[in-house]
Amino acid sequence: MGWTERELRERLFALQDLEYRDFHCRLMPTVEKESVIGVRTPALRKLAKEFGKMEEAEAFLRALPHRYYEENNLHGMLISAQKDYEETVELLDRFLPYVDNWATCDLISPRAFKAHPPELPEQARRWMGEPHTYTTRFGIGVLMEFYLDVTFQTAYLSWVAEVRSEEYYVNMMIAWYFATALAKQYDAALPYLEEGRLAPWVHNKTIQKAVESYRVPNERKVYLRTLRRKGSG
């Protein structure tokens, strides 16, 4: 027998860790503390695995918006477990506009994307073009997670570089993407710094994150430091 909405919340609150809630809330300034229960991610993943087998999970995926941060995270985990690509995209299109923080956005890693469906890069580009902060961030994250290895194409760098935003959580993801590209596709990514093709703050944050990465060799870090732009944060 499945769980009602009330029973699901009771299970979430049974896993509550108030100390963890207080710590985690400090990392998410965009989320009201009252909406955070305080469930550690491993416990939530275990719950999602159990709940995902129930018929009620389908109704839960249609019940937006949710009240609690953990319910949104549970929603993202259920989407990540979907096997069908088109269904996954449909669920994401419905859910992403309700995502209000970086943590929920970044935990979504769809199983259906791991096979690199041919339509996915253009779909990621469409998400990147959306005005909603975390939809844009998610689209960039898709290219970072799934398309910086053997499926990489140089055009993807241009797509990300073309994103211009005043939103901190978008710009931080652009920097994270290019720092990862410097670790995995150095020769293709480097000209974006040498030619100043990124916004100044993103440019310097990219260098900072690359220099902090263990995946970038020291000799490259030395050169990257020389490319910092003064007076740009």
Q: Which two tokens stand for residue 203?
A: 């440019």
Closest CA to 71 of 160, 132, 10: 10
Please tell me the predicted confidence (pLDDT) of residue 196.
Answer: 96
pLDDT class for 3, splitting at 50, 70, 90? confident
Rg of the chain in Å (alpha carbons):
19
Please tell me the predicted confidence (pLDDT) of residue 95.
Answer: 98
For residue range 177-228, list pLDDT tens digits in order: 999 999 999 999 999 999 999 999 999 999 999 999 999 999 999 999 999 9
Mean pLDDT over each residue of the chain, to the nearest integer: 96
Read off the pLDDT of each residue in 114-134 and give the average, rounded to a whole number: 97
Please tell me the predicted confidence (pLDDT) of residue 230.
Answer: 86
Please tell me the predicted confidence (pLDDT) of residue 2.
Answer: 77
pLDDT above 90 covers what percent of the chain?
96
Peptide bond into 200 cis (omega under 30): no
Please tell me the predicted confidence (pLDDT) of residue 40.
Answer: 97
Closest CA to 211 of 196, 193, 223: 223
Query: 190: which residues sit within 8 A by CB, 6+ positions away?
Result: 182
pTM: 0.95
pLDDT at residue 232 is higher than 90: no
Read off the pLDDT of each residue in 36-64 and give the average, rounded to a whole number: 95
Query: What value, to the nearest 5°, has the Cα angle with vertex 135 and ends 42 and 160?
Result: 110
pLDDT class for 233, splitting at 50, 70, 90? low
Residue 46: C-alpha distances to residues 37, 42, 53, 83, 153 (Å): 16, 6, 12, 18, 36
For residue range 96-121, list pLDDT tens digits in order: 999 999 999 999 999 999 999 999 99
pLDDT at residue 28 is higher than 90: yes
